[in-house]
Amino acid sequence: MKYFFVFLIVSGLSFLDAAPWREAKSFILKKDELVKVLVKSEGQERILNFRWTLYTDKALIVHESFDRYVGQHVLYVGHTNQSFRKVLLSANRTQRDVPYVIVVFKKFDEANATAQMDLLLVDKENRIVLDYLTKK
């Protein structure tokens, strides 16, 4: 019985190491500094842009655009609205194979007036290639 519990703990810890995203990139951005990502998929090339414009009351205002659609998000570190999700392609067969990115607000450095944001690519069927046009 003791070995069974050890097995459960070890297998549970290895499950936590398996990230659902295929690719991750971190950015340290100043106000209005633009992140440009070229999204290549199925013979198409489109640009995903995002930048932050205001940090006040622990909230980061982020503007993004992709495929002629624009959005604005209010993000807080450690809250349920810490990130936003952008679908990159429609589903092939099921909703499980929809590739998307998640942009996460990680922290704000008040001394340097910079925000750390992570971009995570979730793409189970390897339908997307990202080229980072921002040199950070």
Write the pLDDT tens digit of every residue in 52-91: 999 999 999 999 999 889 999 999 998 888 999 999 988 7
Number of domain units in the chain: 1
Residue 111's φ and ψ, nearest 5 degrees, are -65, -40
**Which CATH number characterizes residue 105's domain?**
2.60.98
Predicted confidence at residue 10, as pLDDT, reads 41
- Euclidean distance between CA atoms 87 and 23, whole angstroms: 15
Q: Using one digit for the tens of pLDDT, what is the confidence trace for 104-117?
A: 999 999 999 999 99
Length in residues, the chain: 136
In a domain, 67, yes or no: yes
Q: Is 30 helix (H, G, I), strand (E, B) or coil?
A: strand
What is the DSSP code (8-state) at residue 13?
H
**Segments forming the whole domain that contains residue 60:** 21-132
| Mean pLDDT computed over 42-47 | 92
Has residue 5 been placed in a domain?
no
In a domain, 50, yes or no: yes
